Amino acid sequence: MAEIALIGGTGLSSLKMLEVTHREMVQTPYGPPSAPVIHGRVGGREVVFLARHGSGHTIPPHKVNYRANIWALKNLGIRKVIAVAAVGGISDDAGPGTLVVPEQIIDYTTGRECTYFENNLASVTHIDFTWPYCEELRQSLIDACIRTGVEHVPHGCYGATQGPRLETAAEIRRMAQDGCTIVGMTGMPEAALARELELCYSCLAVVANRAAGKGEGEITMKDIERALSEGMQSVRKVVEAILPVL
């Protein structure tokens, strides 16, 4: 049985190197996940794949059913989750096409269903979230980046915004002052829900664009798509390199 899952974000709605064995629509107490879970193998290693924004990339970040997605993976017996996510680069070293393996998060999202611990509780529960990502998996991702020679930044702070609009230049200046080095719309509550269900969860972020006010002119979808298709080739290399050693 697969113990490793990949959650694919913008630019990774399918995984070409995955030899698909079957698709499964998982039911959860929180409703349906974004898409059927795809079971398969990469280089002989069993893995499951879930498209965060749906198979046709139609679910915007604030409408993703994060609770159903993470619950579905946990119920399939998954222990480790690699969350691939497109982001904007705030720090100078996070240029388009670069991979970032963040170690911190600041949550700026609002109004999302963000916990499993709210009803029918035996007692109020607070998870430790000092270090929001699984450090062992984070190090394996960094090792895989080094072995494959892909351009990467082995640290960072992911600022999670509500979207679906991009940020203003002033919001990005404030986020930079807060310590954020990348900005994305899906990092939370996904990471916290994974921790609540005791999954080992880390993020492999792909920089699609310089964040608002950090590059020249407006951010266009065309530029984002170009950088993402380059970055996703790096993601594929890293995924192929990491799976045999996890």
Q: Which residues bind ligand HPA (CB under 6 A)?
A: 86-88, 161, 166-167, 183-185, 208-209, 211
- Residue number of the CB closest to ligand HPA reads 88
Give 86 or 238: the residue with its C-beta nearer to ligand HPA. Answer: 86
Give 83 or 87: the residue with its C-beta nearer to ligand HPA. Answer: 87
Could you tell me the smallest distance in angstroms from the CB atom of residue 166 to ligand HPA? Answer: 5
Could you tell me the smallest distance in angstroms from the CB atom of residue 97 to ligand HPA? Answer: 12
Could you tell me the smallest distance in angstroms from the CB atom of residue 167 to ligand HPA? Answer: 6
Give 47 or 94: the residue with its C-beta nearer to ligand HPA. Answer: 94
Q: Could you give the CA distance from residue 59 to residue 179 in angstroms, rounded to a whole number?
A: 29
Give 134 or 228: the residue with its C-beta nearer to ligand HPA. Answer: 228
Angle ∠(154,140,185) on CA atoms, nearest 5: 55
- The SS3 assignment for 201 reads strand
* Backbone phi, psi, residue 78, to 5°: -70, 140
Q: Return the amino acid letter for 125.
A: T
Q: Return the amino acid letter for 72.
A: A
**Can you read off the two tokens belonging to residue 208?**
């699609």
Give 150 or 207: the residue with its C-beta nearer to ligand HPA. Answer: 207
Q: Could you give the CA distance from residue 149 to residue 61 in angstroms, rounded to a whole number?
A: 31
Q: Could you give the CA distance from residue 166 to residue 116 in angstroms, rounded to a whole number?
A: 28
Torsion of CA 139, 142, 146, 152, to 10 degrees: -160
Residues in the chain: 246
Could you tell me the smallest distance in angstroms from the CB atom of residue 85 to ligand HPA? Answer: 8
Give 127 or 166: the residue with its C-beta nearer to ligand HPA. Answer: 166
Could you tell me the smallest distance in angstroms from the CB atom of residue 18 to ligand HPA? Answer: 24
Could you tell me the smallest distance in angstroms from the CB atom of residue 113 to ligand HPA? Answer: 20
